[in-house]
Amino acid sequence: MSPVLKNFLAVVAGLVLGSLVNMGIIMMSGSIIPPPNGADVSSSAGLKATMHLFEPKHFIFPFLAHALGTFTGAFVTAYFANTNKMRLALVIGFFFLAGGVGSVMMLPSPTWFSVLDLVVAYIPMAYLAGKLAYTKRKLS
């Protein structure tokens, strides 16, 4: 298989798997830490209107979803890429960061969460995943 095609498929696989991890964590979060009473989490408009009811504990799973989704996507991409493993892992980080910026712009959240999420959950996780995948691939 050509290196370019293999890299492209690695990026697509990373985006898909990272998104699935992200969405899976978000979907199960409500059963572990239920939303506050009166919060409408069924739509963006409902979230905007009831965001003031959320406590810090309600932001744990969104952060984990963003960080672990990015980490998974970047790891898969770096592990299976033919060349430029770290660069491609960071590409995944920037894709997910773009989604995070969009999310911050669409849904009001506390400033502390927006900063933590945008600074820690995307590029650092992609970098960490790229390093780990490169090390694992060299050992196998």
From the centroid of its chain, how far is CA 123?
10
Q: Categorize the per-residue pLDDT at 140 as very low, low, confident or very high, splitting at 50, 70 and 90.
A: low
pTM (whole model) above 0.75: yes
Is residue 136 predicted with pLDDT exceeding 80? no
Using DSSP, state whether 120 is helix, strand or coil. Answer: helix
How many angstroms separate the CA atoms of 40 and 25, rounded? 18
**CA–CA distance from 10 to each of 33, 47, 58, 65, 69 (Å)?**
34, 34, 33, 21, 15
pLDDT score, position 52: 86
Q: Rounded to whole angstroms, how far apart are CA atoms 33 and 31?
A: 6
Euclidean distance between CA atoms 122 and 71, whole angstroms: 8
Domain that holds residue 40: 3-139
| Spatial CB neighbours of 56, under 8 Å, sequence gap ≥ 6 | 110, 113
Residue 34, classed as helix, strand or coil, is coil
pLDDT digits (tens, 9 = 90+) for 23-80: 999 999 989 999 888 888 888 888 888 888 899 999 999 999 999 999 999 999 999 9
**Cβ pair 91, 77 in contact under 8 A:** yes
Instruction: Dump the DSSP string for 23-84.
Output: HHHHHHHHHHSPPPTT---SSHHHHHHHGGG--GGGGHHHHHHHHHHHHHHHHHHHHH-SS-
Kindly tell me if the per-residue pLDDT of 138 is higher than 70.
Answer: no
Q: Is the pLDDT of residue 16 over 90?
A: yes
Q: Which is higher by pLDDT, 134 or 65?
A: 65
Give 120's pLDDT tier (boundaries 50, 70, 90). Answer: very high
Report the domain count for the chain. 1
Specify the pLDDT at position 137.
Answer: 65
Max distance between CA atoms of the chain, in angstroms, equals 54
Average pLDDT on 121-136 reads 93
What is residue 45's predicted lDDT score, i.e. its pLDDT? 85
What does the pLDDT look like over 76-119, one tens digit per residue? Answer: 999 999 999 999 999 999 999 999 999 999 888 899 999 999 99
